[in-house]
Amino acid sequence: MPPSDFPSPALRAELIATAHALADAARVETLRHFRATGLATDNKDAAGFDPVTEADRASEAAMRAILAARRPDDGIRGEEEADRPSRSGLTWIIDPIDGTRGFISGTPTWGVLIAVSAGEGPLFGLIDQPYIGERFEGGLGIAQLTGPHGTRPLGVRGTGDLSEAVLFTTFPEIGTPDDRRAFEAVRDRVRLTRYGMDCYAYALLAAGQVDLVIEAGLNAYDIAAPIAVIEAAGGIVTDWSGGPVHEGGRALAAATPALHAAALALLSDG
């Protein structure tokens, strides 16, 4: 069990500064390749299409190099390289490009995800969109967006009725056939549904622009940073049974308890 004053003010400042250093390094690597001709892309899924690019690998390598220098005892869980066990009790959970399909298509809806965890969910997280220049951060007493128009607080909006809600997911064919039927039960009740935003959908929820994000088939590196940012902004993120989702799986993010309960009931029935 960590001490009651964990993390100390000094450790808090170090973790936040390290997260920003990782995001800064990932910005350099991702922007160097974004919309470039001849981007090297491999497929990780022989039965489908799960792309990884030289930008993914360079972004993760740059972040790992910073962690090796600044936080050598911390663990690392990333998408492209093997896990590094933690000797400190802290683990960094990083996704060098969340939304590689969008990245290779030239859309600015991908992002870099960075979170640090003490084992029971994230303490702090960043959702960074390098091309737009927006950085959403949450946890350790912070909930803010920094971008081209300056810095402002994050905060979810107060929508309480599904009929007034805006819902996002990445893929229309979300998860398994059963997952899709459950999702469609929610989709059929909301005002507006949009697709294909990857991690930027979670950022928009934290910024008070949308109300729900529902996804399936996630890994820890897909959801840890969004959890930290959305919870710091006043929202709720669970799995489809209302339990923790920081290890991945099926995620429901909601702006308000009322929306969360209504969506959870439909997902459970589905």
pLDDT by residue (tens digit) across 102-132? Answer: 999 999 999 999 999 998 899 999 999 999 9
How many residues are present in the chain? 270
**Of 251 and 171, more confident:** 251
114 and 128 in contact (C-beta within 8 Å)?
yes
Distance CA 135, CA 229 (A): 10
Q: Which amino acid is at 210?
A: V
- Residue 43: pLDDT band (50, 70, 90) is confident
pLDDT by residue (tens digit) across 239-251? Answer: 999 999 999 999 9
pLDDT by residue (tens digit) across 51-75? Answer: 888 999 999 999 999 999 999 999 9
Buried b (16+ CB within 10 A) or exposed e, 9-18: eeebeebbeb
Given this model, what pLDDT does residue 213 score? Answer: 98
Q: Which two tokens stand for residue 224?
A: 């840890």
Q: Is 70 exceeded by the pLDDT of residue 184?
A: yes
pTM for the model stands at 0.94
Given this model, what pLDDT does residue 1 score? Answer: 44
Distance CA 47, CA 7 (A): 44
Identify the architecture of domain 9-152 in CATH. 2-Layer Sandwich (3.30)
Handedness of CA 190, 192, 195, 199 (dihedral sign): negative
Kindly give, in sequence order, each residue whose CB lies less than 8 Å from that of residue 32, ignoring residues fewer than 6 positions away: 55, 58
CATH class of 162-269: alpha beta
- Residue 230: pLDDT band (50, 70, 90) is very high
**Residue 94 phi, psi (nearest 5):** -130, 140
Q: Is 70 exceeded by the pLDDT of residue 45?
A: no
199 and 251 in contact (C-beta within 8 Å)?
no
251 and 239 in contact (C-beta within 8 Å)?
yes
Domain ranges of the chain: 9-152, 162-269
